[in-house]
Structure 1
Amino acid sequence: MGQDKITVGLIYGGKSGEHEVSLQTALAVSKAFNYDKYEVLPFYITKCGEWRVGSKLSGPFAALEELKLENGAQNTSAAINMLFEKLSTGTGSIDVAFPLLHGTYGEDGTIQGLFEMADLPYVGAGVLASAAGMDKVVMKKLFAEAGLAQCKYCYFTASEWSRGSYAIIQEIEEKLGYPCFVKPANLGSSVGISKARSREELQSSIAAALHYDMKVIVEEFVDAREIEVGVLGNDEPMASVPGEIVSSSEYYDYQAKYLDGKSQMLIPAEIDTELAEEIRDLAVKAFKAISGNGLCRADFFVKKSDQTVWINEVNTMPGFTPYSMYPLLWRETGVSYETLLDRLIELALERYEARQSLNFENGLQ
């Protein structure tokens, strides 16, 4: 690369409802980097979508407010140009992009497409896997194709709801019953999710979900333990030990996940070895079903009645906040936080190098 240190473009914030989670993640990651090995160039995307670029970091951010780069170049096009100049010898040189963006405009394939256009190595899933991993409906269709067991669900768009809400409610009641869970199809971190116990609650839950997305998914209630597994790798992914979420609230919502710190994460999960191995194998299968790269967290239901394992979802950019499951799973598996970051960057560069050998021309002159 023509330099001793690897320059990492750390990209965080964003326009999604998970902006604050992204800042927490970026702060934690900045503290975990080995600054003898890496230089870090921060890119902050405001809630309005404005890009700000800071100076290269010689050490971690000291506080959350520093991440907002108030004195940064508040010029979106200039910041994006720096991504495209990644191999130049100027101050804008970036060797690898590390998007710490959760939810819409960061985990959904949009920024991954920008990296591809910029011919820039980047950490995590590609365009397809990011988009499929963000859209819960598409994800479930890929899981079904891969033969993964999952709960029953219904889905519909905002326009379908406005044209025929009564028929949709009837289908939900017949197919799923109450209680059921209502979710925006394209949002992570449990934002906009609610539990409906009656027709009245179902209608209000759908109205709430439609504030976040144009497509809604409704899932049957499953009386189950929630088991999560970290996946790390490209073509030969590895699975971490499983962990279990014991929520502080009725279900694992945004408050329980990020704010109150009361949800228990039992790592490793108290399950027998055979079940743990089955879940780890299914996690890798789910990762491959969406064409994953780099990392993902795979979330499962283990039904209390018969111990059957159902895939719930995958998260292609799980958080690295102090309360986050993904790095804790790998720590228990024997991979430290710092080593995890090293490995993710290695995987990004490996994938980039492998793709350089591909011929994108049709051979015709």
Structure 2
Amino acid sequence: MDGAILSHDDLRDAPDLDSLTARAAERGLTPGWIDRDVPILYREPHTAFLPAHWRYEEAKAAMDGAARLIGTDLAERRNLIMRNPAPGNDIATARTLICAYQTILPGEEAASHRHAPHALRVILDSDGAWSIVDGEKHPMLTGDIVLTPGGSWHGLGHEGTGQAYWFDGLDVPLVHLLEPMYVEGHPDGMEPVKRVVTDSPYRFPMERTLRELDAAAPDPEGHFGRRIRYEAPQMPTLAIAMHRMDGGFRGRPYRCTANSVFVVMQGSGRSVIDGTAIDWTYGDTFVSPSWKTAVHGAAEDAVLFQMSDEELMRWARYWRFEAVD
């Protein structure tokens, strides 16, 4: 602001704090000592995001309706976003994460594009769907985890006979916050296939996951059952894990600074997040926001997929984890 409008002496000689605050505000300055509706600092981690649960059967019915009403030629990605019920939230599932259910019909293709956010898919029902990432085409079968790192071209299609469904997870809200967002369509529509593979650094098949869970040791702290982590250095903001809990298992309560989203891959059970009981079964998704006390239990043998921003929290030295007994 032009110094001729308000002199520096008007600031130095302000008769009281209210006057100083008002005059400073005209110069884009605000005191750090005043009370605010949203504090600058909290005494402990805090989030407005809430525990939430999305039922796969409900989402699947909605996707079936969408498949009847809109094609991939118009929607490109026919998905339904899981919006957290936090006040004022539009699309985020957790503070740094956005998740959706997506479907594709036999014979359809969704054109290749690339974007800043890192993304992954958890395949819930599929026999014949495929993904192409940076020219490498591989299958997407039920139980697979499929990665699409930020900046990588990726498209998908379906050569099978039954409708395919999966879970999408991306760090879109984080990218919006940091503001490097972009998206770009491939000039050829679908990128050319350079080679067809089954083994890919972008695909973790379910049979391999189950073998590794069989060989994994139980969580010594008792918060989870057996756990494996997927290495995805090309997606450094996301941590990806799979948990197996035997029927009757009840974990120890814990809380941590990471925002986590869970997808049920097998079985059923109950998780309690910040006092909210969530009874889950195959394909369901639920979110455990940062620093909310969580405890997980299995009514029958169960497998849970987990994506979180733990890698980001560790890198930034924001990571905290503690038992809540």
| TM-score (structure 2 length as normaliser) | 0.26
Answer with 1 or 2: which has the greater Rg: 2
Please state which structure has a larger fraction of its residues in strand: 2
Please state which structure has a larger fraction of its residues in helix: 1
| TM-score (structure 1 length as normaliser) | 0.24
